[in-house]
Structure 1
Amino acid sequence: MEKADPVLERLEGQIAWYDRRSQYSQRWFKWLKGAVLVAAAAIPFLAGIEAPRLLIGGLGALIVVLEGLQQLNQYQHNWITYRSTCEALKHEKYLYLANAGPYASAQDPRALLAERVESLVSQEHARWVSAREEAKKTLEKLGP
């Protein structure tokens, strides 16, 4: 029985994780934006038919809450960043398996793959931390 390659297992695990998280973030982003659009479109309509002010004000408050959740959780940023990282990891996998690109001339293609995968993951993590810091600054500007 052939022993599993920990480098390829790590790569496959990271591809699967980034793919799942990208899909999750995309779903949340689209759901939140869809709800904001519906609520925003309903406000002038409800005002035109003289709906209760409480309902109209409630929709306005709902928009603020939904946009705040998007800002806090950065679903759009995560969707795009995670998808980009997932595709970059897949690219490395295919180059490695085809013994192409930088792997064609590498003395140790497996070690090079491990280094490049970890570099991609580390870069994405650094971008994630930076985005969280920016979101925190934005929320602090809004005040308590």
Structure 2
Amino acid sequence: MDIAEETYIQQRLDDQINWYDKKSIKAQRAYKRLKGLEIAMSATIPLLIGFIEDWKVWGTIIGVLGVLITGIEGWLSLTKYHENWIEYRSICETLRHEKYMYLTKTGVYDADRPFKTMVERVESIISKENVNWANLNNNESRGN
């Protein structure tokens, strides 16, 4: 089965670029929101310490902030928003690079059969990321 260049670029390459772009943006937003909240709560603790003698409830509030900070940091570690943001952005930009190198017929695409070369390179990038993701999740499910 032959697939036309335009079809492959639109239905496979552009689709993957868009997917990684959206996932990167989503992971970045989640990471920055949670990290910002964590920083803000951490910054209030030294301020609140000064009020403990005047009103004992501040000790409880500080304790709750400490628990929330620990929870947020644990959640960030578990969900890997930062790592996913960076990884998805890297893959998105790598795929864009391949697309524009192909469209301008530069680099490795300045040769015979550039479409075949592009498909091989793009599928290799996607496949490598899928294998890395599967390995990461397999290791985490085993408790490694």
Shorter-chain TM-score: what band?
Answer: 0.7 to 0.9
Give the length in aligned residue pairs.
136
Contact 2:51–2:58 (Cα < 8 Å) also in 1: no
Scaled by the length of structure 1, the TM-score of the pair is: 0.84
Letter in 1 for 2:84: N
| Larger CA Rg, structure 1 vs 2 | 2
Structure 2 portions without partners, runs of 5+: none
Q: CA RMSD in A?
A: 2.1
Equivalent residue in structure 1 for 2:42, among 20, 40, 43: 40
Structure 1 portions without partners, runs of 5+: none
Contact 1:29–1:75 (Cα < 8 Å) also in 2: yes
Equivalent residue in structure 1 for 2:18, among 8, 16, 19: 16
Identity %: 40
Letter in 2 for 1:59: L
CA offsets, 1:93-138, max 9 Å, x none?
01110111111113x222221111111111222333344456567x
Superposition map of 1:87-102 within 5 A: 87-102=93-108
SS in 2 for 1:99: coil
Note if 1:60 corresponds to 2:66.
yes
Equivalent residue in structure 2 for 1:105, among 111, 128, 132: 111
Following TM superposition, the consecutive aligned residue runs of length 4 or more in structure 1 with deviations greater than 3 angstroms are: 129-137
